[in-house]
Amino acid sequence: MEEHIVIIGNGISGVTTARHIRKASDKKITIISAETDHFFSRTALMYIYMGHMKYEHTKPYEDYFWKKNRIDLKRAFVETVDHENKQLLLSGGEKMSYDKLVLAVGSTPNKFGWPGQDLEGVQGLYSKQDLDKLEANAPDNKTCKRAVVVGGGLIGIEMVEMLLTRDIPVTFLVRENNFWNGVLPIGESQMLNRHIKSHHVDLRLGFNLDSILADDNGKVRAVTIKETGEEIACNVVGLTAGVSPNVAFLKDSGIEIGRGIKVNPMLETNIKDIYAIGDCAEQHEGINGRRPIEAVWYTGRMMGEALAQTLTGKPTAYNPGHWFNSAKFMDIEYQTYGWVFSKPKEGNTHFHWMHKDDNKCITIEMQEGTRKFIGINNFGIRLRHELFDRWLTEGQTTDYVLEHLKDANFDPELYAHYEKEILAEYNKQYGTSLAPKKKSWKRIFA
Amino acid sequence: MKIIKNLGLVIFLTGLAIWTASVFMGGFTLQQDQLDVFVSEKGIKSELITKKITEDVVGKTLGTFAFTGAIRNALAENNTYYDAQIAKYDAAKEWDKKGEQYQYRINDKDFQAFSFSLAKKAGTGFIVENKGLMWFLTFGLSILGALMFIFPNLVLLGKPGIKNDHIYHDAATNRGWIAWLVLIYLVLFYLVLYFNADYVVNWTFILDPISNALNGGDASQWFVYGFLYCTIMLTMAMRMYIKYRHNKYQIVRTTSVLFFQIVFAFLIPEIMSSLGKPGYDFKNAFPLDYDFFFEWNLETLTESGGLGIFILVWGVVLTLVIVPVMVYFFGKRWYCSWVCGCGGLAETLGDPYRQHSNKTMKAWKLERWLIHSVLAFSLVMTVVTLYCYFTGAESLLGINTQWIKDTYSFLIGAWFAGVIGTGFYPIFGNRVWCRFGCPLAAYLGFVQRFKSRFRITTNGGQCISCGNCSTYCEQGIDVRAYAQKGENIVRSSCVGCGVCSAVCPRGVLKLENGPEAGRINPTQVLLGNDVDLMDYVNNDQDVA
C-alpha cells in the first residue's frame, strides 16, 4: 500500500503540496476541506462580488483535474487530530487514518473582543462563506445604507472597493494615521490616503472601533468610535483587522501551538509525521529576516513546493529567496521586491519619487553611503520580478538598478516611461549624473 | 448622467426599431418598361417569366414580401415548367431539345438576386422619396443614441482603470435575456443579408446617396453591410476608448483596426470600383479571403491591366511573405487584432462579450480540430480551383470545382464566419470565428507557435491565480494555467489583444517580442523560492 498523505485545507498551500507530491510519487493523497468542494483562488473572492467573475472562474483547475491526478477530495470539517492513532475525527463522526498529515488550515479574521462583534451583519472577508454572507448582507444600497470597514490593511481596502461597486457609502476606520503605514513608507501611505478619498470613501485615519450596536432584531445598527464617541449608523460592519492562524481545533491535540502551529524550517511540527504550512504555520524564528508567520499567497505556495519534496524523499527546508509581494489598491497596482520598511532600517535610507498625477511612485531602500540596493516599492508601474531577484542576488547598487531600470519595466507596450524622470530626481538628491541605459534583451535574459 | 445614458438607450432603440420597421415600409411598383429593360439587360430568355411577372406584379403596388414573393413565385413556376420539359425530353431521349431547355431555367441560388434587382427598380413611397430623412431616423438616431449611452461612462465608470464591475450581474453581458435577444437579432440579420437580401432592399435605398457619392452607383446589400460595419465599429470604438482610456496599447490598437476597416476594407475598394477597377481590400489575406483564387477573381484581375496584376502579385506576397514575416517579429496580433476586419468587429462590438469564450480543455481540443480542418478545406478547395482553372477540367480527384467552392462559401463563408461567427457573440463570445474557424488564423498560429519572437511573459512568481486573465481571454486560452506556473504563454490561438495583461491586478503579464531562446520556459517551482529547489525541480525532465 502506498503511504496515505492527508492534507487539511484546499487553499494554495495544501493544493501546491498535493500537486508536487503527485508529480514526484504515487502516494495516496487526500485533501480535506470544509469550505468548498474544489480549490479556488481566495484572492479572487472580491471579483465575484463585483461581478467581474463567477465562482467557477476562480477555480484554477477544471474539476476533472483532481480525479485525473488521483487527488481525493473530501468535503468535511476536521474536529480533532488524534496523532497517537494517526487518525482524524471528521464532523458527522467519520474517521480517517493518515500516514502523514499536512496542516494547511489557513487563517481566521481577527476579532479583538469588541462589544457586538458577533452580531448579524458583522463579518470578515476571508472564506467563500464570508463572500456569501456579504452578498446577503449587502446586496445593494437599499439593504445596506452604509457599511463600516474596520482595519486598514489589504483585505480592508478590498472590501471597501467591493462595497463601492454596489454604490454603498463606506466609512473606513483605520487605526494608523496613514493607510497601511505600518508597512509602507509615509509618502506612499499618503498617496493612498488621497486615492481612497478620491473614490468618495469616508476615510477616518487614526480612529479605532469602540463598539458595535444592535437594533431590536439583533442586527447591526451602528458603530461607535473610541476617540470621539461618535455613532455611525450602518447595516454592515467589515472586520478586516488582520488574520490569525486557524488553530482553535488543535488546542488539545498535543501539537505545539503558539500564535500559529509551531514548525521548524523543515515545516515539521513537534509531532512526527505532522507538518504545517501556509498561513497557519509559525516558525520558531523568522527565516531570512522574515516574520515567523507569513500569511501571504506566495509564501504558502513556496512552503507547499518545499514540503512536497520532503514528503517524497528529498528532505528540503523552507528556504525562501528574496522577498516579493504585490497588491492592488483600487486603481493603483503595487509590487515590491526586496525589503522596503516603513522607516528605513538603521544604516539605510529611502529614495522616493512620485509622479505628478499622484498615481505612481516608487520608494527604494538602500544602504547609506554605498547605496547598495535593498528593495523597491513600486506603485502604478510594473517591474520585472526576475531582474530584481537577480540584482538583489548580485548585490547591485541603486545607481546600477536605476541606470538599468528600462530593462526592468514591465508595463504594457506603448505605455509612457518614467525612468528619465526618476533618474533626474535621483541625480538631484545624490549629486550623481546617471542616465538611463537603453533596454537590452541581452541583459534581461542573461 | 444616468438620465442622458437612459435617454440615449431610448433613442438608440428607436433608431433600431425604425431601421427594422423600414423593411416592411413602402411599396414596390414595377413598370412594364422597367421589366423590359431588365429582361433585355440580363438576357432572360424565358418568356414565361416575363409573362408571369407582367401578370402578377407589373403596375401593382405591393408590399416588400408580396413583391419579392411574387417574383420568386414566378421564377419557381418557370423552373417547374422547364423541369417538366426536361424530364419529358429526357424520357423521349431527345437530347438536343432537352439541352435547349436549360437556358430558360433560373438557378435557384439566383432567385434572391433576381428579386433584389427588380425590387431595387420598383421601390416607391416614403423611403425612396426621403432617403436623407430615413438615414437620419435610422443611422442618425442609432449613432446619436449609442453615443449618448456610451459617453456618460466617462463619468459613471469613475477614474481610469479596469472597469469590469457588474459584467456578470447584467442580463446583456451575462447571457441573460438581453443577450439572447441580441443573438436572435444578429442571426436573423445575417440570414437575411446572406440568403434573402431582396427582403431588405429598403435598407439599400437609405444608403443610395452615400453610395452614389462614393462609387457613383446605387447601394447593394454589400454596401449596406460595409457601411453598417464601419459605423458600428466606429461607434463601439468610442466605448473602447473610454473603457480603456488608461491603457495606451488598447487605444492605439483600437485606432489601428478602425483605420484598416474604414480605409482599406471600405473606402479604397469603393473608390477603386468607382474608377472602374476591381474593388480590392489590400489587407484581406488568403485564405481568409477564400475566393482570391476563384476563376472569376483571377479573370477580373488578369483583365484589369497593370493594377490587376499588381493585386494578384500582392495577394500572393501578402500571404506567403508579409504575413509570416510579420508574425515572426510581432506575433499574429499584428493581423488579428490590429488589422483584420473580423478582428476589428470582435474588438469593438464584441468586447462586451469577450468573457464568454469557453476555457475548458474540451473546447481547446475542439478548436484544434475545427480550425485546422477549415484550413485544410480551404487549401483543398483552392488546389482544385486552380487545377481546374489552368487545365479547364471540371474536377480534380472526383472533387467538382463548382461544388467545393459553393459548399465552402455556404458553410464557411456564410454560416461559420457570419451567422455563427458574429451572430453568436452574446453567448459564445466575440471570437468564435477567429478561434474555431478562420483558416488564416490557423496558418498564422503555426508561425506564432513555432517560429516567432512573440510571447506573453509571465512575471516570475507574482501570479495569484485569480483568473481575471483567463476569464477575459476572448480566445479561450486558460492564461492562468501558465501564469500560475511562472511559465510564458506561447499559444497559436493568441491574437495579442492585450486584455489579459490589462485586467491582471498584480502586473504579471506582458505581451512582448523578444529573443526566441527561452521563449517557452516550462517551470514547476516558481521564482522567489529556494534557488536550489528551483533548479532541482525545474530541470528535472522526467517531471510531468
pLDDT string in tens for chain B (544-residue length): 899 999 999 999 999 999 999 999 888 998 888 888 888 888 888 888 888 888 888 888 888 898 999 999 899 999 999 999 999 998 888 888 888 888 888 888 888 889 999 999 888 888 888 999 999 999 999 999 999 999 999 999 888 999 999 999 999 999 999 999 999 999 999 999 999 999 999 999 999 999 988 888 899 999 999 999 999 999 999 999 999 999 999 999 999 999 999 999 999 998 888 888 888 889 999 999 999 998 888 888 888 888 888 899 999 999 999 999 999 999 999 999 999 999 999 999 999 999 999 999 999 999 999 999 999 999 999 999 999 888 988 888 888 888 898 899 999 988 999 899 999 999 999 999 999 999 999 999 999 999 999 999 999 999 999 999 999 999 999 999 999 999 999 999 999 999 999 999 999 999 999 999 889 988 888 898 888 888 888 876 444 4
How many contacts (CB atoms, under 8 Å) link A and B? 178
Global pTM?
0.94
pLDDT in tens, A388-403: 999 999 999 999 999 9
Confidence of residue A352 (pLDDT cuts 50, 70, 90): very high
Express as a percent the part of chain A with pLDDT over 70.
Answer: 100
Cα–Cα distance between B317 and B215 in angstroms, integer? 28
- Fold: same for A122-241 and A324-444: no
> Are A335 and B502 inside 8 Å of each other by CB?
no
Chain A residues whose beta carbon lies within 8 Å of the beta carbon of residue B360 = 62
- Cross-chain CB nearest to A57 (options B169, B248, B467): B467
Question: What pLDDT, on the 0 to 100 scale, is given for residue B543?
Answer: 43
Tens of pLDDT, residues A399-425: 999 999 999 999 999 999 999 999 999
Using the 8-state DSSP alphabet, how is residue B318 labeled?
A: I
The DSSP secondary-structure symbol of B458 reads: E
* pLDDT tens profile A171-184: 999 999 999 999 99
**pLDDT by residue (tens digit) across B242-262?**
999 999 999 999 999 999 999
Kindly state whether A313 is in contact with chain B, defined as any CB-CB distance less than 8 angstroms: no
Q: Is A287 on the interface with B (CB under 8 A)?
A: no
Using CB atoms and an 8 Å cut-off, which of residues 13-42 of chain A contact chain B? 20, 23-24, 41
Query: A309–B484: do the CB atoms touch at under 8 Å?
Result: no
Contact B515 A441 (CB under 8 A): yes
Q: Which CATH class for the A4-108+244-311 domain?
A: alpha beta
Assess contact for A20 and B524: CB atoms under 8 A.
Answer: yes
User: Do A234 and A282 meet the contact criterion of CB atoms below 8 Å apart?
Assistant: no
A322 vs A288: CA distance, rounded Å: 9
Residue A135, classed as helix, strand or coil, is helix
Predicted confidence (pLDDT) per residue in A181-233, tens digit: 999 999 999 999 999 999 999 999 999 999 999 999 999 999 999 999 999 99
Q: Which of residues 175-204 of A touch B (CB under 8 A)?
A: 198-199
Q: Choosing among A21, A46, A57, which should be mutated to test the B contact, i.e. which has the most B CBs within 10 A?
A: A57
CB within 8 Å: B524 and A20: yes
Question: Chain A closest CA to B270's CA: distance in Å?
Answer: 33
Q: Which of A60, A64, A305 sits opposite B525 (nearest CB)?
A: A305
* Domain segments of chain A as ranges: 4-108+244-311, 122-241, 324-444
pLDDT at position B523? 86
B-chain residues within 8 Å CB-CB of A24? Answer: 543
At the top level of CATH, which class does the domain A324-444 belong to? alpha beta
Q: What residues of A are in contact with residue B462 (Cβ under 8 Å)?
A: 298, 324, 326, 335, 385
CA–CA distance, A332 with B503 (Å, rounded to integer): 12
Residues 128-167 on B with a CB inside 8 Å of A are 158-162, 164-167
Contacts of A444 in chain B (CB under 8 A): 514
Strand order in the sheet with A202-205: A122-123, A236-239, A147-150, A170-174, A202-205
Q: How far is B4 from chain A (nearest CA, A)?
A: 19
DSSP per position, A262-278? EE-TT-B-SSTTEEE-G
Tell me the percentage of chain A whose pLDDT exceeds 90: 98
Contacts of B520 in chain A (CB under 8 A): none
| pLDDT score at B540 | 61
Question: Cβ B168–A298 below 8 Å, yes or no?
Answer: no
Q: Is A412 in Cβ contact with B459 (below 8 Å)? A: no
DSSP, collapsed to helix, strand or coil, labels residue A158 as helix
C-beta atoms surrounding B256 within 10 Å: 16
Q: Which of B158, B457, B533 sits opposite A305 (nearest CB)?
A: B533
Interface of A with B in 61-90 (CB under 8 A): 62, 64
DSSP secondary structure string, A328-369?
A: EETTEEEEEEE---SSPPTTEEEEEEE-TTSS-EEEEEEETT
Name the residue facing B248 among A316, A330, A414 (closest C-beta): A414
Are the beta carbons of A211 and A123 closer than 8 angstroms? no
**CB-based contact A51 B164, cutoff 8 Å:** yes
Contact A327, A183 (CB under 8 A): no
B198-210 per-residue burial string, b: 16 or more CB within 10 A, e: under 16: bbbbbbbbbbbeb
For residue A194, list chain B residues with Cβ-Cβ distance below 8 A.
Answer: none
Tell me the pLDDT band of A289, cut-offs 50, 70 and 90: confident
Can you give the pLDDT at residue B537? 86
Q: Which of A433, A434, A426 is nearest to A404 (CA)?
A: A434
pLDDT of residue A311: 97
Distance in angstroms (rounded) separating the CA atoms of residues A310 and B341: 55
Contacts of B507 in chain A (CB under 8 A): 326, 333, 335, 382-383, 410
B514–A contact, CB cutoff 8 A: yes
**Sole residue written with cell 471579483:** A47
Q: Which residues pair with A324 in a beta bridge?
A: A337
Tell me the chain B residues in contact with residue A446 when contact means C-beta distances shorter than 8 Å.
none
- Residue B116's contacts (CB-CB under 8 Å, 6 or more residues apart) are B197, B198, B201, B221
From the candidate CATH numbers 3.50.7.10, 3.30.930.10, 3.40.309.10, 3.50.50.60, the one assigned to the domain spanning A122-241: 3.50.50.60
- pLDDT level of residue A18 (50, 70, 90 thresholds): very high
How high is the pLDDT of residue B512?
Answer: 95
* Displacement of CA B305 from its chain's centroid (Å): 30
Residue B400: the pLDDT is 86
| B466 vs A41, A384, A413: nearest CB | A41
Q: Which candidate in B163, B165, B501 is best for mutational testing of the A interface (most A CBs within 10 A)? A: B165
Q: CB-based contact (8 Å) between B50 and chain A?
A: no
Place of cell 458577533: A118
- Choose among A47, A382, A444: nearest Cβ to B507: A382
pLDDT at B539: 76
Are residues A43 and B466, on separate chains, in Cβ contact within 8 Å?
Answer: yes
Residue B168: helix, strand or coil by DSSP?
helix
Return the exposure string of A59-79: e unless at least 16 CB atoms fall within 10 Å of the residue's CB, then b.
Answer: bbbbeeebeeeebebbebebe
